[in-house]
Amino acid sequence: MTAMIEAKNLSRHFGPIKAVENVSFSVNKGEVLGFLGPNGAGKSTTMKMLTCFLAPTSGTALVCGHDVREDAREVRRRIGYLPENAPLYGEMEVGQFLRFVCDVRGISGKDASSAIDRVLGLCSLSDVVKQRIETLSKGFKRRVGLAQALVHDPDILILDEPTDGLDPNQKHDVRTLINGMAQEKCIILSTHILEEVDAVCTRAVIVANGKVVADASPNELKRRSSSHGAVTLSFEEVPDSSVSAALNGLAGVREVREEKLAGSRVVYTVLPQEGKELLSLVVKEAESKGWQVTDLRLELGQLDEVFREITS
Ligand SMILES: Nc1ncnc2c1ncn2[C@@H]1O[C@H](COP(=O)(O)OP(=O)(O)OP(=O)(O)O)[C@@H](O)[C@H]1O
Ligand SMILES: [Mg+2]
C-alpha cells in the first residue's frame, strides 16, 4: 500500500531552535496516528508543515504523492486541518462561517447546504447555527473548528488536540466520530490525553525535542511499561502483614509494591520476574487465604509510565 502521508527527514528550525529535526514516518489509509510528546516537542510545527502552513527548513513530506514544498494547493485540497487555537471569524454566525469555508473550498449550492448539514450533525452544532462564534463557549468553538475541517469530507485529517477544552461527553462524542471515520480516512491527531490514544489510535508516534523517539501501536508501547504483567490487589482496609509476606513468597515474583490510598485503602502491585505469569497464582492464593479483595486485575501496562520513561 502506498502511504497517504510520508514525512521524509522533515526539519524546521527557528533560529537556534530545532523545533523539528529529521522526522520521518508514514501513515496509510485506515490508520489513526496519535502524535504525542511533551509541550514544545514539535507536534504542532510538524502538523503545520504537513498542511503547508509552514515551509520545512529541510526534508519534505508527500501527501497523496504531492510534495508539500511544490504542490501546496493539491495538498490542502486533500486535507482537513484543525489547528491548535483554531482561528475563527468571531463576528460570523456558525452557519455563515461554514458557508464561507464551503466557498473557499469551491463547494456551492445544494452541495454546500448538504455538506453544512452533515457537519452540523457530526459536530452537534445544529442548536447554535445562528449564534455568533465569539459568543460560543470554548468547547463549542472547538467543535466549529472541527466542523470546518470536515466540510469537504477530506481523505486526510490532521487534528491538533481535537478534544482540548471539551467536556467528557463531548470528548466521548469526538472520539466516536473519529472511530467512525477511521476506516475510510488517514488521520493524524495530537493529544496530551493518553487514554485517548488507547481509545482511538492504531499507532502512536512519540516526539521529544523535535525527534521521533517511539513509533509503535499503543499495546506495543504499553508492553514496554514496567507495570506490564503486574497483578494489582486492592483492599478496603490494610490487611495484616501476612498478605504482603505471602505475595512476596510466590514463585516468579520480582517485587511487591504497597501504595496507601485515602481512608485506609491499600493497593499491592505484584511485579513479575521476566517472562513469568502471576495472575492465576495470585488468584489462587487470595482464594485459599480468603482475602477480602475489592479489586484484582492484570495490568497491561500504562502509557503514561512509558511516556515519562521515554521523554524525561
Ligand atoms: N514561530 C515560531 N518562532 C519561534 N519558535 C517557535 C515558533 N513556533 C514554534 N516554535 C518553537 O518550536 C518548538 C516546538 O513547538 P510546537 O508548537 O511544535 O510544540 P508542540 O509539540 O506542539 O507543543 P504543545 O504540546 O505545547 O502544543 C518550541 O520550542 C516552540 O517554542
Ligand atoms: Mg502544539
Out of 216, 248, 270, a domain closes at 216
Cell output for 80: 482537513
Predicted confidence at residue 1, as pLDDT, reads 64
Which among 145, 162, 147 is positioned nearest to 86, based on CA atoms? 145
Together in a domain, 70 and 176: yes
Q: Which domain holds residue 260?
A: 231-301
- Which residues contact residue 86 at a Cβ distance below 8 angstroms, ignoring those fewer than 6 apart? 141, 142, 144, 145, 148
Together in a domain, 145 and 257: no
CATH no. for residue 195?
Answer: 3.40.50.300
Structural domain tally of the chain? 2
Predicted confidence at residue 275, as pLDDT, reads 86
- Ligand 1 centre to CA of 23 (Å) is 15
Predicted confidence at residue 288, as pLDDT, reads 94
Using a 6 Å CB cutoff, which residues line ligand 1?
14, 17, 19, 37, 39-45, 84
Is residue 62 one of the residues assigned to a domain? yes
Distance of CA 165 to the CA centre of its chain: 14
The CB density around residue 198, as the number of other CB atoms within 10 Å, is 16
The size of the chain, in residues, is: 312
Predicted confidence at residue 312, as pLDDT, reads 84
Most ligand 1 atoms within 8 A of CB, residue of 20, 43, 190, 193 to mutate: 43
Together in a domain, 22 and 54: yes
Predicted confidence at residue 85, as pLDDT, reads 82
Predicted confidence at residue 165, as pLDDT, reads 84
Together in a domain, 66 and 165: yes
Residues of the chain with pLDDT under 50: none
Is residue 226 one of the residues assigned to a domain? no
CA dihedral 24, 27, 304, 10 (to 10 degrees): 20
Contact yes or no for 305/225 (Cβ under 8 A): yes
Is residue 223 one of the residues assigned to a domain? no
For residues 33 and 215, what is the distance between their CA atoms, to the nearest angstrom?
A: 9
Together in a domain, 52 and 108: yes
Q: Which amino acid is at 116?
A: I
Is residue 99 one of the residues assigned to a domain? yes
Residue 124's SS3 state is: coil
- Ligand 2 centre to CA of 260 (Å) is 36
